[in-house]
Amino acid sequence: MTTDPSGLVTEAFEAQRDRLRAVAYRVLGSHADAEDVVQEAWMRLVRQDEAAIGNLAGWLTTVVGRISLDLLRSRQAHPETAYGQEFAGLVVTPDDEPAPDEQAALAESVGLALLVVLDSLTPSERLAFVLHDMFAVPFHEIGPILGKSADATKMIASRARRKVRATDRPAGPGREHREVVQAFRAAALNGDFDALLRVLDPDVKLTVDTADGVVVTLGATKVAAGARMFSGEVARHRPVLVNGVRGHMSWRADGTPLSVIAFTVTDGRITGIHIVVDPAKLAAIQLPAPA
């Protein structure tokens, strides 16, 4: 077991924490899961003989990769738990003005848009792609995590890269995205069914995260028919960024949060809507209602 009287191991781990959290988040798509993975990596480190670790950064990356891969495979074995994972950890910030280009690019790179694409990959492909293409981890270090040779790992990453390039990435939080979201909201508030159909992709997926579980609705006609839920008890609302993509947060007249809605936009149409109405998740969002 590691003894750390000087605090050097703790200091070295803390220096790696943000990078490890970023790796786990990109692999898993959940802030909460990423925090758990990093904490588990720390627990394994304190049980390890530090003299046996030659490269701490590489060792920690391997541990985080293995834990994350196990979680991904568990989700695949139990797909009912995967719905809503991209919103397991809500990061909601005001979107009162257009973000600077650099900030928008960063939000898009780590937000829901990228996660939607990564969800099309197998667990092995996703891990190989994230570690190699995003964090420059060499294939000979990724291979042991997957139980593959370096050459086989290179082929897995190449296959993942082709899939990512072939997938239409949803638009980041740019001007077109803002206009599409505004058009949807106006049509929903006005009850304009035809306008809703024009802005919704025919295969749009609506996911509603409630206290009792997740409800999924597929198809533009069904989503448009239920659009009254987008107004309801709303007394106040404001545009927000939800995990890096545009949306709205609404409050009741008494100031209690009612919902958070995030939109995925591809080629000028809404392909995904995620609504969070779970009171426990909404209560964790530290964003005041507008005056």
For residue 261, the domain's CATH number is 3.10.450.50
Answer yes or no: do 112 and 90 share one domain.
yes
pLDDT category at 7 given cuts 50, 70, 90 is low
pLDDT for the residue numbered 146? 94
* Residue 44 belongs to a domain: yes
How many percent of the chain have pLDDT more than 70?
77
- The CATH number given to whatever domain includes residue 124 is 1.20.140.160
Q: What is the β-pairing status of strands 269-276 and 200-210?
A: parallel
pLDDT category at 137 given cuts 50, 70, 90 is very high
pLDDT category at 109 given cuts 50, 70, 90 is very low
Asked if residues 66 and 44 have their Cβ atoms less than 8 Å apart, the reply is: no
The pLDDT of 114-118, averaged and rounded, is: 66
Residue of higher predicted confidence among 115 and 208: 208
pLDDT for the residue numbered 289? 77
Residue of higher predicted confidence among 288 and 243: 288
Answer yes or no: do 180 and 252 share one domain.
yes
pLDDT for the residue numbered 87? 53
The pLDDT of 103-125, averaged and rounded, is: 62
pLDDT for the residue numbered 80? 44
The pLDDT of 32-38, averaged and rounded, is: 88
Mean of the per-residue pLDDT values of the chain: 79
pLDDT category at 41 given cuts 50, 70, 90 is very high
Note if the pTM is more than 0.75. Answer: no
Q: Distance of alpha carbon 208 from its chain centroid, rounded?
A: 16
DSSP code, position 52 = G
pLDDT for the residue numbered 147? 93
Answer yes or no: do 101 and 136 share one domain.
no
pLDDT category at 200 given cuts 50, 70, 90 is very high
Q: Please count the structural domains in the chain.
A: 2
Structure tokens at 176: 């077109």
267 has pLDDT over 90: no
The pLDDT of 103-111, averaged and rounded, is: 44
Answer yes or no: do 134 and 102 share one domain.
no
Residue of higher predicted confidence among 237 and 233: 237
pLDDT for the residue numbered 178? 78
> How would you label 37-65 residue by residue, b for 16+ Cβ within 10 Å and e otherwise?
bbeebbeebeebebeebeebeebbbbbbb
4 has pLDDT over 60: no
What does the chain come to in residues? Answer: 291
DSSP code, position 95 = -
Answer yes or no: do 262 and 286 share one domain.
yes
The parent domain of residue 266 ranges over: 83-117+169-291
Answer yes or no: do 72 and 95 share one domain.
no
Residue of higher predicted confidence among 180 and 243: 180
> How would you label 248-257 residue by residue, b for 16+ Cβ within 10 Å and e otherwise?
bbbbeeeeeb
* Residue 2 belongs to a domain: no
